Amino acid sequence: MKKQRKKIAQLFVGAVSIVLIINACKEKDIAPGESVKAEVSTSSAAQLNAIGLMSGNPILPVPTADPDVIYADGKYYIYTTATGPNASQFHAYSSPDLLNWTDEGIVLDLANVSWAQTDGWAPSVVARNGKYYFYFTAAKKIGVAVGDTPIGPFVDKGSALATGDGSDPIDPMVFIDTDGQAYMYWGNTTFNIQRLDSDMISLTGERGHNKPSNYFEAAYVIKRNDIYYLMYSVNHFGNDDYHVEYATSTNPMGPWTNKGRITSPRGEIKGPGHNAVIRKPGCSEEYFFVYHRRTSTNIHERQVAIDRMFFDAAGNIMPINITNSGVTQTGPSAPCYTPDPIPDGQYAIRSKVNTTTGAGLYLDIAGCSQGNADVRTWTRTDCDGQKWNLTYQGNGFYKIISALPTHKSLDLDACGIDRGANIQVWDVFSNDCQLWRIESLGNGSYRIMSKSSNNVLDIADGDPTPGADVRSWNWNGTDAQIWEFEAP
């Protein structure tokens, strides 16, 4: 899926990882922010793409597509389109923390399905009645298999659940409403919606076809504040601009009002689509957006990725920022983040890194420049270049504006997606380069994350020398990435 130079790079990273694992056995102390990946076996392959304490993207160890995601028994599980002979073998991948993913092996093999043995696509999994229900496409029909655990083994019910209307009745998605009623959504071009019976393996009631504008395939539904959000993919999956849009309704069967696009290609990353969404367990407003994308010109070499999803103050889904760093480590004990932990006001922003003599280092505009300028560290001064006005935007993010007379905004240079992108102050714009999420780490410490890249403010190389560059970097938990907000 990746270009040849990236395949070579992956082999190099894998070799380095093996060396690190060996060294870790000799030296029990691991540098802060570094994580040694689980050992790899033929039956359980752990993902090696995690960087620092972030998932990295893509997150799964093999090219695959059309993900669904659930949380069960203390783990996240992702299910994807089948691999193997004639796309006949469905796998599940599990993770306790969104960083390290283990291939749980084949959970359903179409060789064991009597009515279809090819083209196993786009599964959807839900838990109910003490069982797990695995909905899938096979030979352009919808099937359902039942298992006792999130990894099965899943046993097909013995016949197709539905064919649906239209020429391509594919991509099932099952949503269970708060009143207990379950619905299945499916279909390419023609959109099918129908209730599931309480047994979860038969359909009941009238079939609906309310379709939002631009709908093509891959429906996914969530409910938030009594509003139903229907996400769906637009264009053929091989199109570079394959993307996700969404619509809303007050009824799970529609009608639907299109609200616009939430993913777009970014640089060499094409076709971000066919998504699923999961809310962090126990947290009311933390959503993760799982989807596939590609960097290869081969449209079949797709990769599964994960990024954050946010709502604005009016309840609209904000455009998803497609990133390379992915999301931070999120296990069962991880706290829920408060979207606005710092009151609006003016602050000096101090690093946890001190100089070698113990003096504090602060986020500083070089030379107190009143124009567009670089941001660095410096010891405390009276200059307004160390005073920052924070204003919460009502959507999980802040604007951070210099107190200098020209009022420049803290800015991620060119909205750089890669770690190492420069931090500066620039003319104030409304784009994501100038939106920042502030997340509490406890004890008055915070990380400051770019909406555009999901990377954090970082002192280059943890340099304690005044004047060190401030850049963006993936979160690794080192002092160079931890900040405090003090009275100016």
Cα–Cα distance between 443 and 469 in angstroms, integer?
Answer: 26
Active site annotation includes 217: yes
| Three-class SS of the chain | CCCHHHHHHHHHHHHHHHHHHHHHHHCCCCCCCCCCCCCCCCCCCECCCCECCECCCCCCCCCCCCCEEEEECCEEEEECCCECCCCCEEEEEEECCCCCCEEEEEEEEHHHCCCCCCCCEEEEEEEECCEEEEEEEECCEEEEEEECCCCCCCEECCCCCECCCCCECCCCEEEECCCCCEEEEECECCCEEEEECCCCCCEEEEEECCCCCCCCEEEEEEEECCEEEEEEEECCCCCCCCEEEEEEECCCCCCCEEEEECCCCECCEEEEEEEEEEECCCCCCCEEEEEEEECCCCCCCCEEEEEEECECCCCCECCCCCCCCCCECCCCCCCCCCCCCCCCEEEEEEEEEECCCCCEEEEEEHHHCCCCEEEEEECCCCCHHHCEEEEECCCCCEEEEECCCCCCEEEEHHHCCCCCCEEEEECCCCCHHHCEEEEEEECCEEEEEECCCCCEEEEHHHCCCCCCEEEEECCCCCHHHCEEEECC
Catalytic position from the list 66, 104, 109, 411? 66
Cα–Cα distance between 177 and 15 in angstroms, integer?
Answer: 47
| Residues 127/183, Cβ–Cβ less than 8 Å | no
Catalytic position from the list 97, 109, 217, 364? 217
What is the residue whose two structure tokens read 């200098």? 404
What is the residue whose two structure tokens read 């207990």? 180
Residue 272: cis peptide before it, omega within 30 degrees of 0? no
Who's near 480: CB < 8 A, 6+ residues apart? 351, 352, 353, 458, 459, 460, 461, 462, 463
How far is C-alpha 411 from the geometric centre of its chain's CA atoms? 22
How far is C-alpha 248 from the geometric centre of its chain's CA atoms? 21
C-alpha to C-alpha distances, 40 to 16, 23, 154, 419, nearest whole angstrom: 14, 16, 25, 27
Active site annotation includes 197: no
Residues with a catalytic annotation lie at 66, 217
